[in-house]
């Protein structure tokens, strides 16, 4: 299981601290998050910002060695193609349960600019999924409620799926200024797995976002399709994407 959480703020050159973005799963601690007991390991870090140079994770347990510096990052208002990320799926970074995890960034300009860092928490190494994967396309014509928050989206599939239980094993989401997206379960686990977003059809994404490389994201039945949340730089008018699925029952 894994969960995507964000740090975000408009900051100047730095190094300066980003604020933990409001999250229904992760408890806040000052400007950071408290590390949950069941997903206390970091498996992915992605930083993006118009003038971003580097990012840093900091906590008491990380300081036993040194604060964890993150490079390369995505410099600009869109993700690089492919996305620059730190991938710890096979060897997660352990944290102490209930400690505060903070995020700092360094930008190249003196003036404030919007900067975001996505951190994926998990319960252990990611186990890829093998099986008969198929992909469905979805759209949504409802505008995001606001920029710089997790805004709700209801994906509408182009075609219905069979009766049964399915595992999400990959995702691609696109809208005009989107940076990240995650799924919202209807029942079951409370964690909200997600990844980076794309702003055009030709933007690349990393291979581990698709076709089972990030393991099983969550399960749902054909009558309890999960919702989605999108973090974007504006209230984008439309969204679309693809979901990779494996039928498990």
| pLDDT score, position 111 | 84
Q: How far apart are CA 19 and CA 117, in angstroms?
A: 10
| pLDDT score, position 109 | 82
| pLDDT score, position 110 | 79
Low-confidence ranges of the chain (pLDDT < 70): 188
C-alpha to C-alpha distances, 122 to 89, 117, 151, 248, nearest whole angstrom? 9, 16, 23, 22
Cβ neighbours of 127 (radius 10 Å): 12
Q: Is the pTM of this model over 0.85?
A: yes
| pLDDT score, position 11 | 93
| pLDDT score, position 189 | 75
| pLDDT score, position 63 | 96
Name the CATH topology of 2-122: Jelly Rolls (2.60.120)
Instruction: Report CA torsion sign: 119, 40, 245, 85.
Output: positive
| pLDDT score, position 187 | 77
């Amino acid at each position: 299981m894994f969960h995507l959480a964000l740090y975000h703020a408009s900051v100047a050159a730095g190094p300066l601290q980003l604020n933990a973005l409001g999250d229904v799963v992760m408890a806040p601690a000052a400007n950071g998050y408290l590390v949950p007991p069941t997903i206390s390991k970091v498996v992915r870090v992605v930083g993006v910002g118009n003038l971003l140079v580097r990012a840093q994770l900091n906590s008491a347990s990380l300081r036993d060695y040194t604060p964890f510096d993150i490079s390369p990052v995505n410099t600009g208002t869109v993700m690089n193609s492919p996305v620059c990320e730190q991938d710890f799926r096979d060897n997660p970074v352990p944290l102490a349960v209930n400690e505060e995890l903070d995020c700092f960034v360094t930008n190249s300009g003196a003036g404030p600019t919007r900067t975001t860092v996505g951190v994926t928490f998990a319960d252990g190494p990611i186990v890829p999924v093998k099986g008969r994967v198929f992909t469905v396309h979805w759209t949504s014509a409802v505008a995001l409620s606001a920029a710089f928050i997790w805004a709700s989206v209801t994906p509408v599939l182009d075609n219905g799926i069979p009766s049964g239980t399915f595992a999400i094993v990959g995702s691609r989401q696109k809208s005009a200024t989107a940076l990240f997206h995650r799924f919202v379960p209807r029942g079951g686990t409370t964690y909200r797995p997600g990844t980076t977003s794309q702003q055009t059809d030709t933007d690349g994404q990393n291979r581990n976002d698709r076709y089972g490389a990030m393991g099983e994201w969550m399960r749902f039945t054909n009558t309890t399709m999960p919702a989605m949340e999108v973090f974007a730089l504006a209230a984008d008018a439309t969204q679309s994407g693809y979901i990779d699925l494996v039928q498990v029952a």
